[in-house]
Structure 1
Amino acid sequence: MLQFLLLTLLLFPAFGQSAPDYDNPYSPIFTDKPVYSWTDKMKITIISPSWNSDRHLIDSIGDTNDHPIKISTSENSLEPYRFTETDVNSGIFTAEVILTGFTHDVDGDGNFDTSPRTIGNGPTSGFLEVDRDSAITISFEFADGVVLVESVPVSWNVGTINFMKDVFFLEDAVIVRVVDADMNLNPEALDNLPVQVFSDSDVAGIEVNAVETSESSGLFVATIPLSQNSPSSGNRLYAMAGDDIFAKYDDYTLPKPYSITDNLEIKTSAKVDSSIPSIERIQNSEITFSDGFGNPIQSYTKNSQIQIVGTVANNHDLKQQFVYFFQVKNDKNFVESLSWIQGEISSQQILDVSQSWIPDESGTYEIETFVWNSINNPTALSPKMSTLITVE
């Protein structure tokens, strides 16, 4: 009889799970993040081969009062909460919980933007209300009198904003990016974030809608085309070559030591430029001379007014701000006169600029002309021109 029993066990082996090890329980609890924001989706994993009770079925744990799983903060709780096995005979159990924050206005418009609630019994139906600085505790009664616990913190974050490049050409589309996990208000949908964008040429600017890149990324992106020929409208921003452009938003979800009612302006900047090399943007022609009535002159005498006339041309499809300099030097290379004219030249426009000068002494003079983009941060827009004259 014994030989028959041994032969039967060899040919038809029996399967079963041993009882949970009370002295050395193995059932680690893992979360998909070390820290959560207030409206995140939590993904929780419990590895518990001892609770793989049927190797042919998808098992569940945690949804009984005898061995419950509890997901809780100091004030709110989901209990018991069901976890399901990832596959037959895996011994790995998972569940999800969506954090719903608390009642709060996240954009300063006077309206609450969250729907806090605590409801659900798992494995993916749970919603849990949390505070800004909560801690979430997952406890599993692995066996009678043996409770395994894991905790993770909840915290707000200071957001960041940046342009994708430091310098944009006028023909580029400007891309601005915001990273703020606290504004991922619905982890199962794409959220939106309003961003203010403006330039030196349009300080009022526009408000654009930055859209989350995926359902739970907390990364928001907006694309803004530039125009120097049309005013700002919609998501189009008016800017000129040489402008600084700016993007900002107000962060109303700040961690300690800020208070819950505080907000902080998060801001960034970039430059706008033209792809045309700076030195080629303005054509500067040779100067001419006239008297006070605009009549051309060929000879020059001291103590007589000379009108120095320069000509600039813009042969490109962009407006250009400029400063035109007149500099007169004597034969000892000392500067006798320095003057300038500021202006803006449109696409395909030709402008005459002039300045009067009265020489005090006879001699040879060098008259130089420069075209720069500004006085404070000068960049040459054309090569320097130079002309020699003799004053009798």
Structure 2
Amino acid sequence: MVTSQLLFLVTCTSLFTSVSFAENTPDYYKPYAPIYTDKQVYTWTDKVHITIVSPAWNENIHAIDSIGDDRDHQVKISTASNSLGPYRLTETSPNSGTFVGEVTLTGFSHDVDGDGVSDTTPRTSGNGPTSGLLEAKRDDGITISFEFADGVVLTKSVKISWNVGEIAFSNPRYLPEEQIKIQVNDPDMNLNPENLDQVQITVSTESDSAGISVIAVETQDDSGVFESTISLTQTGESSGNRIRAFPGELITAKYEDRTLPLPYGISDDLDIIATSSIGSDIPDIQRVSIEDLYVADSTGKQISELTKNNQIQIVSHIRNNQDYSQPFTSIVQIVDEQNSIVSLSWIVGKLSDLQNFELSQSWIPTESGKYRIETFVWKSLNDPSPLAPSYAESFSVK
């Protein structure tokens, strides 16, 4: 009886031990080993993260197993023209049955910044799990295959494609003292997923149409997002990351994309543009004041009686209410009793900070009657945004 019980105990122990370990030989008829990638579409220099879930290949529950480096059951990672394999993937932890690895795409020889020199180093090498380098074209694909068992090969394919870049300001409007942040989003320019890459952008304003060239730096090693910060000046010239601009002006940022997807050609380029504006804490219509308006004779002496065929001067005083300069256009029009314009003139200039300025425009009335002088101060003839409320004065000509 004791012998029988001992035999039963040994048998149970043997069974328990055998089911605690995973299969040494995968099930040919139930090939379960799904392959996953971290993206559905990659760019030409991306890092590709690969996961294969295969519990059948978890051979030792107490150790980190690997798959793919066995030539009889290998993992291959291929593009249209290049291939890696056998390529080793390693288990994430003992007994997990999940195997991971990564491969860095190295693109092809191409000039991305227009300086005539290729900016990539295409090459194919490595055997895993993180050492793989694989050349890739613009319109390509990646195929990952795993020979799960003899004659049973599981595959996963994803696309490789370039992208149209994007550029944007962090705000639609900035005050003169604010820092301006510009962001470029172009995964194709993440040329080295292990380091911070850079792109160049051009920034211009209405006061500086030539603009400045600034460097935008990648926010993280593998982000494909690039940022640059610039400042504004109203007193100095554009230099470095500082550009001359005044309130009311547009500011434009341009990024030249040389990695464009179909239907563009590989050698094509495209200017990607974003705009913002420079504002002020003073409303547009209060930036300038029209402080006085009167009529004078040819010597500049103020007069109250006007006679026809005698030249008069229409004198006005305007004041810049800002502590930085302001371009302006002052317009004077004279209308008769029928509201017909009989005279129209303008002066273009720039007010320095808090400056008072006298304007004088001449007119010779040729007919007696009642008239009205109307004055306007605009940003420019092309931009009739008022910098001050309009001003009107009526008078008679004898």
TM-score (norm 1): 0.95
Contact 1:291–1:297 (CA<8 Å) still a contact in 2? Answer: yes
Q: What is the aligned partner in structure 1 of residue 22 from structure 2?
A: 17
Q: What is the aligned partner in structure 2 of residue 7 from structure 1?
A: 9
Aligned equivalents of 1:281, 1:102: Cα separation in 2:
55
Query: Which letter does structure 2 place at the counterpart of 1:347?
Result: D
The reply to whether residue 159 of structure 1 matches residue 161 of structure 2 is: no
What SS is found at the alignment partner of 1:182? helix
The reply to whether residue 224 of structure 1 matches residue 230 of structure 2 is: yes
Q: What is the aligned partner in structure 2 of residue 40 from structure 1?
A: 46
The structure 2 residue matched to 1:237, chosen from 243, 250, 258, is: 243
Which structure 2 residues correspond to residues 1-392 of structure 1 after superposition, within 5 A?
1=3, 3-8=5-10, 13-14=16-17, 15-18=20-23, 19-392=25-398
Aligned equivalents of 1:126, 1:100: Cα separation in 2:
10
- 1:375 Cα deviation from its structure 2 partner: 2.1
- 1:362 Cα deviation from its structure 2 partner: 2.8
Contact 1:38–1:99 (CA<8 Å) still a contact in 2? Answer: yes
- The farther-off stretch of 191-200 and 154-163 is 154-163
Q: Which runs of 4+ in 1 moved over 6 A?
A: none
What SS is found at the alignment partner of 1:68? strand
Query: Which letter does structure 1 place at the counterpart of 2:282?
Result: I
Structure 1 gaps, min length 5: none
| Identical amino acids, percent of aligned pairs | 53
Aligned equivalents of 1:5, 1:152: Cα separation in 2:
56
Aligned equivalents of 1:260, 1:81: Cα separation in 2:
31
1:53-106 CA deviation, whole Å, 9 max, x = no partner?
A: 111111111111121111112321111111111111111000011111111111
Contact 1:286–1:385 (CA<8 Å) still a contact in 2? Answer: no
Query: Which letter does structure 1 place at the counterpart of 2:9?
Result: L
What SS is found at the alignment partner of 1:285? strand
- The farther-off stretch of 241-250 and 46-55 is 241-250
Aligned equivalents of 1:85, 1:64: Cα separation in 2:
15
What SS is found at the alignment partner of 1:55? coil
Query: Which letter does structure 2 place at the counterpart of 1:4?
Result: L
Aligned equivalents of 1:388, 1:143: Cα separation in 2:
100
Contact 2:22–2:61 (CA<8 Å) still a contact in 1? Answer: no
What SS is found at the alignment partner of 1:286? strand
- The farther-off stretch of 40-49 and 322-331 is 322-331
- 1:120 Cα deviation from its structure 2 partner: 1.0
Query: Which letter does structure 1 place at the counterpart of 2:6?
Result: F
- 1:210 Cα deviation from its structure 2 partner: 0.6
TM-score (norm 2): 0.94
1:198-249 CA deviation, whole Å, 9 max, x = no partner?
A: 1121111110001111111111111111112111100111112222222112
| RMSD (Å), alpha carbons | 1.7
- The farther-off stretch of 275-284 and 354-363 is 354-363
Contact 2:258–2:270 (CA<8 Å) still a contact in 1? Answer: yes
Aligned equivalents of 1:262, 1:361: Cα separation in 2:
65
Structure 2 gaps, min length 5: none
What SS is found at the alignment partner of 2:56? helix
- 1:9 Cα deviation from its structure 2 partner: 5.5
